Structure 1
Amino acid sequence: MANYTTFLALLFCLFLVAATEIQMAEGKYCWKKSDMWNEPCQYSYKCSYHCKHYYGAKYGICKNYKPWGHKYYWAKYACYCYSPCHY
């Protein structure tokens, strides 16, 4: 019984690794800073909606950005849009 359980556990781990590799092979995402976002990025869900609506991107997130003259921590984040790369 222990050998059967070990075999199933190893098979499950192999399946997880294979599934991860398949997802990674589907395609890479390229990012672009949103030019139309005119405020500090505080919430990624708002950024994601903005990117989907205006750029047709897959999703958007708030990423660290180095603006000059902002003293608030949330002002250091900008909206970046991610979409599949076109080569």
Structure 2
Amino acid sequence: MAKYTAFLALLICLFLVAATEIQMVEGKYCWKKSGKWNVACKYSYKCSYHCKHYYGAKYGICKKYKPWGHKYYWAKYACYCYSPCHY
């Protein structure tokens, strides 16, 4: 019985050392303005569906930007797609 206890304790110690050596990957997302979105972005859920369907992105949101020549407040929002960054 003592052999099994010592073996089990050694196995647990080995597992704990290995678990601390594993580095956590940070979940950073990179964004890109959708080139296929041709209208002003009013609803983020529609933008998110668009990004998932056309680009395979994780999600999409309507985000404010500074357009040239637009006088309406809702025209200042564009669809931006977010997906995991690849370094």
Task: Tell me by how many angstroms 1:61 deviates.
Answer: 0.1
**C-alpha distance in structure 2 between counterparts of 1:67 and 1:26, whole Å:** 33
**C-alpha distance in structure 2 between counterparts of 1:52 and 1:26, whole Å:** 21
Aligned length: 64
Report the equivalent of 1:46: 46
**C-alpha distance in structure 2 between counterparts of 1:69 and 1:42, whole Å:** 18
Report the equivalent of 2:30: 30
**C-alpha distance in structure 2 between counterparts of 1:27 and 1:40, whole Å:** 29
Unaligned runs of at least 5 residues, structure 2: 1-24
Once superposed, what is the RMSD of the aligned Cα atoms? 1.4
Displaced runs of 4 or more, over 3 A:
none
Task: Tell me by how many angstroms 1:65 deviates.
Answer: 1.0
Determine what percentage of the aligned residue pairs are the same residue.
89
TM-score, normalised to structure 2's length?
Answer: 0.70
TM-score, normalised to structure 1's length?
Answer: 0.70
**Structure of greater Rg:** 2
